[in-house]
Structure 1
Amino acid sequence: MSDKQKGILCLVASSFCFALMNVFIRLAGDIPSIEKTFFRNFIAMIVAGIAMARAHEGFAYRRQDLPLLTLRSVCGTLGMMCNFYAVDHMLLADATAIQKLVPFFTILSSWLILKERIKSWQGGLILLAFAASLLVVKPGFTPDLGPAIIQFAGALAAGFAYTYVRQLTLRGVAKPKIIFFFSAFSCIAVIPLIAMDFVQPDAYQLLMLLCTGLAASGGQFAITYAYGFAPARQISIYDYSQILFSALFGLVFFGQLPDWLSWLGYALLIAVALANFVLSSRPDKSDPTHPAADPGPTDPDSHRKERTA
């Protein structure tokens, strides 16, 4: 297999794992979303800590990086809690489709924070992606409107989180250290909230919570390997296979069948993602960060590697 084929395979495996993670989240039952966030990140913290130890990375952080690490962690924690809530209260495929607006929100947050220019075609695609999400949500005609708004907010928070990840990566902070800080911060931050409304999981729910963390870790490893094999501009479109996996799992596990408007929204969102994939792959020699302008090694869209951290 070529490196590109290996990258595609790993990215599809990652989408499968993240879709499965959402299944386990829902199967965990009436455990509060905050409690589910703790279990998911506790296992991620252990995995990241092991990765840091194997890479001989120290656990000390530079003082100047702490504000960005904190902002990344706050936004990431909010995004994750919103996603878990939406998964519990919406069709799996619908919640996943809205969550896939994150790359477009990342473009907006990069414009606000990093002052990166938004090209005209990017602005058009953002509007089309929003229109696709309205087909999924069907505002005013569905009881899922409240959870959908929460998922929109979560996707926006995640977009800002990935922009902060990009800033930290450009500063030279190792990715396992970013993941470890975020996971540890999230676990500690939600403990007071859990104490206020703690629900004792039974054996089955505890198993589902552990499976949530394991599936998320599997997805994290798979996506890291994927972008190690091939640059994002060549394979990122396959990340949207998670919508299809979620639709399949929703039908198999919960008997969920999206309506035709939702399917139309999925198709439009995937089409917009494909257009973004194709247009982003075109050489732009006026951009010094584009691979066509720099024949040397590049770090392809490193902020996407941390999507679920």
Structure 2
Amino acid sequence: MAPPASPADYRRAIWLRLAAGLTFAIMAAGVKLASDHGAHVVEIIFYRNLFSLPLVFGWLLVGPGWAGTKVVRPKAHVSRAIIGLTGMVLNFQAIRMLPLAEATVISFSVPFFATALAAIFLAEPVGRHRWTAIAVGLVGVVIVVQPGGSHIEPVAALVGIVAALAVATVTVTLRQLGSTESATATVFWFSIASTIVTGLTMPWFFQAHDAVTWGLLLWVGIAGGAAQLVNTASLRLAPVPVLAPFDYLQLLWAVLLGWLIWQTSPTAATWAGAAVIVASGLYIVHRERALRRQVSAAPESPRPEA
């Protein structure tokens, strides 16, 4: 059994999670800029995976080595790759179509969808408290999207919501994989599979680019790979309920980058919806922490209602 995490581990994990949030925001800005320069979303995904491979290989060699790539359930990795690649396409498309801050806020609905999907497909207990938080959080998404309003195009909003649902599905899939597969194997084989699959499409999507666009594509690959690795490293040191609240700081980076690069600012509705979504997400994290404490204190008693 691994030794319990120390306060120093938690501090390092929080700093790593903050770095991951910043790097994800930088990657998203690179995706949007590359799209503005004419790169196709499938092309962007190919280079995001290709240019991140040196980081993945480096992490592998200085860490667990090739033994870390061993898999127990190959078919499960195939399913994860299909779902993950679909989610990446939708997520990048949402970033391309939406203002950066709004795309980030809508992505905050991932925990709501993930909790609901885990209850349905993994039979995880979800009581009235968390179901209520999920419902309130989705109301926050509606506030941001403003159906019938003119701030966000309906198709763009729909793509953002479906992208969040796809990423939530990836989250549930990773929980299933985690019972037998290491994080190293999951990251490695997804990176390889995504590069190969999108590489096969390059005869149709490859374009010649100027130096600036190539630089942006390199930016996306390095930032995306770094964010993935730093995020994984944070989870080695502390559990998700400890780290999840810090993910919401990514909105501040998205707002800052949106203002600096595109001179865009979130609307009042976006801020209001974000407040509702963040509050609901934090409540779900709070309930998860409380349940963990109760179960640890009374392991023989029935699991409290979530």
- For normalisation by structure 2, the TM-score amounts to 0.87
**CA shift digits 1:15-73 (9 cap, x unpaired):** 111111111111212211111111111233332233333312338654x6122111111
Residue 8 of structure 1 corresponds to 14
CA 1:197 to 1:224, structure 2 compared with 1: closer, same or farther past 3 Å? closer
Give 1:222 shift. Answer: 2.6
Q: Is 1:95 the counterpart of 2:103 in the alignment? A: yes
Which range moves more in the overlay, 185-194 or 155-164?
A: 185-194
Code of the residue aligned with 2:290 in structure 1: it is R
Code of the residue aligned with 1:146 in structure 2: it is V
Cα distance in 2 for residues equivalent to 1:293 and 1:275: 22
Cα distance in 1 for residues equivalent to 2:89 and 2:56: 20
Residue 18 of structure 1 corresponds to 24
Give 1:255 shift. Answer: 0.5
Q: Is 1:166 the counterpart of 2:175 in the alignment? A: yes
**CA shift digits 1:235-294 (9 cap, x unpaired):** 32011111121011101111111110011011111111221121111045775xxx5567
Residue 144 of structure 2 corresponds to 136
SS state at 1:69 partner: helix
Which range moves more in the overlay, 130-139 or 110-119?
A: 110-119
Q: Is 1:27 the counterpart of 2:33 in the alignment? A: yes
Flag structure 1 segments of 5+ consecutive residues without an equivalent. Answer: 295-309
Code of the residue aligned with 1:89 in structure 2: it is M
Q: 2:22·2:250 contact (CA, 8 Å) conserved in 1?
A: yes
Q: 2:95·2:103 contact (CA, 8 Å) conserved in 1?
A: yes
Residue 43 of structure 1 corresponds to 51
Residue 160 of structure 2 corresponds to 151
Q: Is 1:249 the counterpart of 2:268 in the alignment? A: no
**Greater than 6 Å deviation, 4+ residue runs:** none
Equivalent residues in 2 for 1:269-308, closer than 5 Å = 269-284=277-292, 291-292=296-297
Give 1:165 shift. Answer: 1.3
Flag structure 2 segments of 5+ consecutive residues without an equivalent. Answer: 1-6, 300-306
Code of the residue aligned with 1:180 in structure 2: it is F
Code of the residue aligned with 2:119 in structure 1: it is W
Residue 305 of structure 1 corresponds to none
CA 1:266 to 1:60, structure 2 compared with 1: closer, same or farther past 3 Å? closer
SS state at 2:73 partner: helix
Give 1:93 shift. Answer: 0.7
Q: Which of residues 228, 235, 238 in structure 2 aligns to 1:220?
A: 228
Q: Is 1:187 the counterpart of 2:158 in the alignment? A: no
What percent of counterpart residues are identical?
25
Q: 1:102·1:158 contact (CA, 8 Å) conserved in 2?
A: yes
